[in-house]
Every structure is written in C-alpha cells, then in structure tokens.
C-alpha cells in the first residue's frame, strides 16, 4: 500500500505538461514571462519553462543565456523586466525542446525553417505547437504559413496566437487581448488559451488558423506604409486612409489564398486591433518613418541595425514575399498598397509613392477586391 502512495507524485508529475519557448527576443521573452506566471498557478503544468536562447556574447564578454539565468532578466531584448524564477534560459535548442510537449515558437520568421529542421525527429511524440511568429515563406510552389511549416516539418498540430501585442506594453502588464487560431481541435486551443490568459492578457480562440496568421503577417506590410506616411508628415487622415486600404488588401489577399478565411477574424484582436497598434507604435512603423525622413537614402538593413539593436523587422521581408506571390499569381494590379510598399523598400519608388500609387491604383482595382 505504502508503495502505491509513494508512486503517486511520480504519476502526477508525468501527466503534467511541460512548456518550451523557442525564441527569446522581445516578444519571446514576454511570452515566456506570461506563461511562467501561469505554470506556477496551473496544476496541469510543470512550473519550469525552458526558453531557447540564440546564444550571443554581450559587450561584457558574458553569454546572454548565462546572464538571463543569473539575473532572471533578458538584458538585451527585454531589459528591466524580471521573467520569473521558473524561466530557464537554454542555449542548446535540442536540449530545450526534448522534454516538452507544449512548444511555443516565437522567433523572427526567417529563422523558423532552419529551427524546425534542427529539431526534426527530436521532439516528443505527443508534442503540440503554437506559433506566435508573424510572417510566411514563399517557395516555388507558393506561399507557406509558418504554422504549416511547423506542422509539416515536425509532424505535429500547430495553433497560432496573434494580436495587438506590442511586447513592451505587455511586459508592463497593461491590458491587451490576443486571438488563438485553431484548425479542428477546440480542446487543444483551449489548453493554449489557458496557458496564456491572465487578467491583463485576455485570450480568445477562433477556428481559423490561416485567417489569424495572415492578419498577423500582413499587418506588418501595412505598418511599413503607415511609417512612410508618418515620415512624410502627411497627418492622421492620410494614415487612416492607408490603414483602411491596407486592411482591405489584407482581407482580399487572405481570402484569395485560403477561401476558408472568415470575415469575423478581421474584427478580432489579431485583425483590426493589431493593425492599429502596429501602425501607431510598432518597430516596422518606426523604421519606415526613419526611412521616409531620409528620403529612402538609407537602407532598411542599416536602419534596422541602428534603431533596433538586434531586434528584427518583419514587414520589409514580408512585403517582398507578398510581392512574389502577387507576381506569380498575376494579382499585382489588385494590391496597389502591398506592391508599392515593396517597390519603396527596394528603392525603386520614392516614399511619397505610397499615397500616389495606393490611392490611384486603388480607384481602378476596387472592383476586383
């Protein structure tokens, strides 16, 4: 009898879910903090949250992962915020994921395919994933959403979480909302909601993975356009017009790619709310404003390195990827704003073209959207 009792904690512990966060940038660190505050409270999760750190050496000569574990702070990507003592930084990707059955992917999108390849065949059989990554990949045979890459490469199901979520504001515990997109299994979606939800971070779920993910991905292109308007000092009405045209293109593009995308998704936090917050206060907007102020004479790469100190822009790359899709599918004329953002980013058009082309071509392409 006594041996049965002594086994109880073992079985209890085996049934608990273990979470790994793959990524430790600005949002990655905040996501780990949010999750870690919940795993301490929720009995169905192990307290510890493993956070994979893309290792780098700080100016002090120390390794970032070691400093995070000593100070409980990501001094480079989220300075001044304690992550929670149960967040453990791990520079070894395979080791970070090996024991976890709940994998949270949150790195800049351009690194995701390589990361998936590295952990292929090295994760638990019962693993589930969620992607917080805003972006997509474009291949010869067309665009692939990041959640699809995760599912295909790792052979596991993948939800997404997107929303009006400027990471630094969530780190301050100011109220915001987010949307979990799921494909079929509402129960799994609710488990993710449970893991992220806090009194200041209100999460709901919708059955529309592609819609949610495309909202998060495409709003970064519109934010670049909004930044151009700010840099050119054209005022709020112009910026609102660009946001409206952008939202229209986001919806049309998403529905052309996936007929399953739902209209209501654009009214969730992942849709119009994320578009607004990113166009007001995001990094894409900020760098695009500087680009326009310099008349397009300084490249985005240069501005990103100088202004973001290691954080990464997603909008410029996404504009290029969207442009490739538009070219391949013969849709260029129907998406003047998306097309113009890319042309400006590669300095084929001046920043002022954002209004001229978006507005002009918009008149002529209205019917096809």
Ligand X SMILES: O=C(CO)COP(=O)(O)O
- Which pairing describes strands 176-181 and 136-139: parallel, antiparallel, or unpaired? unpaired
The annotation status of 111 as a binding-site residue, yes or no, is: yes
The annotation status of 246 as a binding-site residue, yes or no, is: no
Of the residues 191, 219, 239, 286, only one is catalytic, namely 219
Find tokens 């001094």 and name the residue: 75
Measured CA angle at 50 (ends 47, 54), to 5 deg: 160
Query: Of ligand NAI, ligand X, none, which one does residue 284 interact with (CB within 5 to 8 Å by kind)?
Result: ligand X
Of 283 and 293, nearer to ligand X (C-beta) is 283
- 277 lies in the site for ligand X, by CB under 6 A: yes
Helices (H), the chain: 2-15, 26-39, 64-71, 93-97, 112-119, 146-154, 167-171, 186-196, 209-231, 236-257, 274-281, 283-293, 300-308, 315-329, 336-345, 353-365
Least separation, in Å, of the C-beta of 295 and ligand X?
22
Mark the segment that binds ligand X (CB under 6 A) among 47-55, 90-98, 137-145, 271-279.
271-279
Nearest residue to ligand X, by Cβ distance, number only: 282
Cβ-based burial of 55 (10 A; exposed 0-12, middle 13-18, buried ≥19): middle
Query: Of ligand NAI, ligand X, none, which one does residue 278 interact with (CB within 5 to 8 Å by kind)?
Result: ligand X
Of 283 and 323, nearer to ligand X (C-beta) is 283
- Asked if 234 and 143 touch (Cβ cutoff 8 Å), the reply is no
Query: Of ligand X, ligand NAI, none, which one does residue 164 interact with (CB within 5 to 8 Å by kind)?
Result: ligand X
Query: Of ligand NAI, ligand X, none, which one does residue 38 interact with (CB within 5 to 8 Å by kind)?
Result: none
- 278 lies in the site for ligand X, by CB under 6 A: yes
Least separation, in Å, of the C-beta of 76 and ligand X?
16
- Asked if 351 and 357 touch (Cβ cutoff 8 Å), the reply is no
- For ligand NAI, the binding residues (CB under 6 A) are 23-28, 54, 77, 106-109, 111, 132-135, 165-167, 311-312, 314
Site string for ligand X, 121-140 (x = CB under 6 A): -------------x------
Nearest residue to ligand NAI, by Cβ distance, number only: 25
- Asked if 339 and 222 touch (Cβ cutoff 8 Å), the reply is no
- 165 lies in the site for ligand X, by CB under 6 A: yes
Q: Within 308-367, which residues bind ligand X (CB under 6 A)?
A: 314
- Asked if 355 and 234 touch (Cβ cutoff 8 Å), the reply is yes
Query: Of ligand X, ligand NAI, none, which one does residue 25 interact with (CB within 5 to 8 Å by kind)?
Result: ligand NAI
Of 232 and 341, nearer to ligand NAI (C-beta) is 341
Name 204's bridge partners: 179
The annotation status of 281 as a binding-site residue, yes or no, is: no
Least separation, in Å, of the C-beta of 123 and ligand NAI?
17
Mark the segment that binds ligand X (CB under 6 A) among 1-9, 237-245, 257-265, 274-282.
274-282
- Which pairing describes strands 142-145 and 17-22: parallel, antiparallel, or unpaired? unpaired
- Asked if 25 and 107 touch (Cβ cutoff 8 Å), the reply is yes
Terminal CA-CA length for the chain: 70
Name 244's bridge partners: none
| Both tokens assigned to 129 | 């994933």
Which residue in 241, 255, 235, 224 sits closest to 318, CA to CA?
A: 224
CA distance 159 to 148: 10
Of 127 and 317, nearer to ligand X (C-beta) is 317
Which residue in 87, 73, 80, 79 sits closest to 36, CA to CA?
A: 87
- Asked if 74 and 88 touch (Cβ cutoff 8 Å), the reply is no
- 284 lies in the site for ligand X, by CB under 6 A: yes
Binding residues for NAD(+) are 23-28, 54, 111, 167, 283, 312, 314
Q: What residues form the annotated binding site? A: 23-28, 54, 111, 134, 167, 283-284, 312, 314
> Where do contacts with ligand X occur on this chain (CB under 6 A)?
134, 164-166, 220, 223, 274, 277-278, 282-284, 314
Positions marked active-site: 219
């Amino acid at each position: 009898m006594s041996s049965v009792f002594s086994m109880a904690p073992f079985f209890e512990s085996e049934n608990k879910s273990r979470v790994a966060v793959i990524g430790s940038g600005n949002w990655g660190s905040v996501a780990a903090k949010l999750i870690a505050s919940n795993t301490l409270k929720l009995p169905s999760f192990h307290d510890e949250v493993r956070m994979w750190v893309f290792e780098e050496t700080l100016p002090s000569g120390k390794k970032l992962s070691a400093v995070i574990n000593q100070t409980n702070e990501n001094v480079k990507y989220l300075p001044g915020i304690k992550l929670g003592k149960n967040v453990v930084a791990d520079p070894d990707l395979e080791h970070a994921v090996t024991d976890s059955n709940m994998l949270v992917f949150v790195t800049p999108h351009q690194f995701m395919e390589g990361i998936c390849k590295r952990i292929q065949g090295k994760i638990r059989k019962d693993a589930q994933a969620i992607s917080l990554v805003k972006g997509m990949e474009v291949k010869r045979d067309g665009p692939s959403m990041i959640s699809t890459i995760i599912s295909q490469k790792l052979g596991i199901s993948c939800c997404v979480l997107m929303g009006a979520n400027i990471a630094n504001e969530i780190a301050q515990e100011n109220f915001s909302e987010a949307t979990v997109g799921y494909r079929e299994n509402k129960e799994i979606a609710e488990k993710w909601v449970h893991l992220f939800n806090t009194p200041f971070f209100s999460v709901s779920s919708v059955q529309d993975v592609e819609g949610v993910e495309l909202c998060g991905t495409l709003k970064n292109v519109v934010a670049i356009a909004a930044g151009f308007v700010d840099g050119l000092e054209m005022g709020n009405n112009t910026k609102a017009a660009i946001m409206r045209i952008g939202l229209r293109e986001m919806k049309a593009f998403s529905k052309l790619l996936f007929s399953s995308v739902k209209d209501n998704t654009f009214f969730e936090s992942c849709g119009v709310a994320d578009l607004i917050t990113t166009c007001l206060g995001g990094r894409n907007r900020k760098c695009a404003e500087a680009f326009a102020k310099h008349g397009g004479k300084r490249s985005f790469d240069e501005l990103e390195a100088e202004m973001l100190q290691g954080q990464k822009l997603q909008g410029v790359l996404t504009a290029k990827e969207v442009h490739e899709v538009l070219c391949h599918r013969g849709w260029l004329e129907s998406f003047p704003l998306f097309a113009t953002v890319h042309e400006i980013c590669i300095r084929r058009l001046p920043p002022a073209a954002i209004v001229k082309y978006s507005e002009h071509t918009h008149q002529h392409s209205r019917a096809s959207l």
